[in-house]
Amino acid sequence: MNTINNSQHDHQEPRIGVYICRCGGNISDVVDVDRVAEVSRHIPGVVVAKVHTFCCSDPGQNTISQDIQAEKLDRVVVASCSPFLHELTFRGAVQRGGLNPYLYEHANIREQGSWAHKHDPAGATAKSIRMIAAAVGKLQYSTPLDQIRLPNHRKALVIGGGIAGMKVAADLAGRGIPVLLVESSGRLGGRLNQWNRVFPTDTPAGQLVTKLLAQLDANPLVEILLNCKVTAVKGFVGSFQVTIEGPLGPSGAMTSTQTTIGAIVMATGFRPYVPDDGEFLYRKDPGVITMPEFIDLMRGQQTGAGELVYKGRTIRSIAFLHCVGSRQIDGVHTPRADGKINTYCSRVCCTTTLQQALAAKERFPSLQVYDLHQDIRTYGRGHEDYYVRAGKAGVVFFRYHGDEIPRVELANGKHPGEPSLHITFKDYLTWGEELTLDVDMLVLAVGLMAGDIPDLINMFKLPVGEDRFIQEIHPKLRPVEISVNGVLLAGTVQGPMNIEETLNAAGAAAVKASAMFLKDVVELNPYVAQVDADLCQGSGSCVTQCEYDGAIAMVETQVNGKSVRQARVNPGLCVGCGACVAVCPTRAINLNGWRLDQYDAMVDGLTADIPAVAAATS
């Protein structure tokens, strides 16, 4: 084991402050924080180690800022919750104390300490000490860093003109930011153009679209391109060069335009699941239709209109089948062409089904309506009302198990010349006994699938989740951001959402995007690769290894009067992944803030022979 010892480093003795947070008991109920502070005081370089109930509170932050001045601290460690939550908070406190904000390290002793080891207080305490020792070790090699500042072009691009894209464009323009809204079809509104009245208010879908259209029309900062697509993108946050082509389709000569954009919002939406031919007899019998087809059929059907007739067949009974294309089970459902099944819940189908079952019953009171579900997931405010009202209106409910999919066959109908659909299933609202239903129509409540946007995924290197939707950085802490700087998500491009959730997400994306335009420059963390010109011999391995187009390139440069090829990093495109560092044969590349000597020091800190750790765990 190494012993922590500053003499191995040839810098001036650092003066490090360590602040340990109780997190109101979240940490201190498990970790012995006083012991951690006591031991930390003995780690070389540490001159102050204090415990605070909430380091993130104003008094907690003030303690740090004041100690920097009073104790002449030149580096700070805060041992608290996840850096996702408060790294920026503490950088601010350090800066207010007069230090460079990158002379700060965060040790996550909550998620990785007290929460991970809540049944092992001694182990959690020892681990917390080691994490602080690692952070202290790293800090001894830290140097002041400056944020990267790039020019910021004050214009946003929104791709997709559904309700999400429209809302983002309206909000951004409302804040004075010019917006270009690019929609691949000939009309704004997306899927809402297909629906009638939408839950939970039964508002005509068209009304929502019209309201947003009016806002867009009224704002001269909004430019709308219909029948157009983004076909190429270069550059980086603040200065994306985007190529747009249109009009799509056979009519009109296609033209291509280029524009410079500061931030981009993806709002390309979803696709309804389309059952395979023969799945529940879909496309084998005209009585089997999907929910979007049923909504279309119900359009314009008036109450008291007599009988429901579809493709010449009088419909006297309908069964609605939930979870078609959602909540699929491995080994039970057939994978799609890409080998995947949809294990997720599509969230909107339960309420849509109940709303449509109720509407059918209200418009055609003599209709026999059945509902076959696994569970009823009407989770939003007012959604459960549809369930209650449908039950009162006479809709009959059955519950099947997800791994016992109802079987649908053709049978001779009760009426001459009219076949009926014979459905067999086990009902678990009773005793799991096998039941059969004969109906004239089966409506498949299809789920939501990720949109078909492979071109955009490749172009922008969009991160795709296991469910094929575009994946945000963190569902709670950074819900509309992705790993590509300057590109945000809005609406169902990200996963199943109803209209209310879509509009909330779009509002959040607009806020995030407008915050990016508060300054004329984009400020980024300095954690990017840096090439040491004295060591680079131009092998080019870094360029081959890099997955981010243009983030690193070979350039001709002059060294001692000779022309040589060396690697050059574009800080706007580098994401700091470190892949280039690992392959450089001459160790000429390092990551700012995460240099190899800092890693070495962290490992030394983690493995150091700290007698108090042994005592804590014994």
Ligand X SMILES: Cc1cc2nc3c(=O)[nH]c(=O)nc-3n(C[C@H](O)[C@H](O)[C@H](O)COP(=O)(O)OP(=O)(O)OC[C@H]3O[C@@H](n4cnc5c(N)ncnc54)[C@H](O)[C@@H]3O)c2cc1C
**Beta-ladder partners of 314:** 309
Cβ of residue 509: shortest distance to ligand X, in angstroms? 11
Of 23 and 266, which has the nearer Cβ to ligand X? Answer: 266
Expressed in percent and rounded to 5, the helix, strand and coil fractions of the chain are 30, 25, 40
- Report which secondary-structure segment, H or E, holds 164: helix 163-174
Other CB atoms within 10 A of residue 311 CB: 9
Cβ of residue 495: shortest distance to ligand X, in angstroms? 10
Amino acid at 58: D
Q: Name the residues that contact ligand X, by CB under 6 A.
A: 159-165, 182-185, 190-192, 195, 198-199, 229, 267-270, 272, 291-292, 348, 352, 448, 451, 453, 456, 491-492, 497-500, 502
**Beta-ladder partners of 319:** 370, 442
Q: Which residue has the tokens 């109940």?
A: 354
Cβ of residue 335: shortest distance to ligand X, in angstroms? 21
Orientation of helix 163-174 relative to helix 205-218, angle to 10°: 30
Cβ of residue 181: shortest distance to ligand X, in angstroms? 9
Of 27 and 156, which has the nearer Cβ to ligand X? Answer: 156
Of 161 and 593, which has the nearer Cβ to ligand X? Answer: 161
CA distance 91 to 168: 31
Surface-to-core class of residue 547, CB atoms within 10 Å of its CB (0-12 exposed, 13-18 middle, 19+ buried):
exposed
Cβ of residue 213: shortest distance to ligand X, in angstroms? 13
CA distance 342 to 324: 10
Of 131 and 456, which has the nearer Cβ to ligand X? Answer: 456
Of 45 and 269, which has the nearer Cβ to ligand X? Answer: 269
Of 61 and 356, which has the nearer Cβ to ligand X? Answer: 356
CA distance 17 to 105: 10
Of 63 and 498, which has the nearer Cβ to ligand X? Answer: 498
240 closest CA partner among 182, 153, 149: 153
Give one word for 436, left, alpha or beta, with left for phi > 0 and alpha for psi -120 to 50: beta
Of 267 and 488, which has the nearer Cβ to ligand X? Answer: 267
What's the alpha-carbon Rg for the chain, to the nearest Å?
A: 30
Of 121 and 380, which has the nearer Cβ to ligand X? Answer: 380
The first and second tokens of residue 98, run together, are 């007069």
420 closest CA partner among 429, 430, 408: 408
Cβ of residue 34: shortest distance to ligand X, in angstroms? 51
Cβ of residue 249: shortest distance to ligand X, in angstroms? 13
* Antiparallel, parallel or unpaired: β 75-80 and 148-151: unpaired
Cβ of residue 157: shortest distance to ligand X, in angstroms? 10
61 closest CA partner among 33, 86, 29, 41: 86
Cβ of residue 351: shortest distance to ligand X, in angstroms? 7
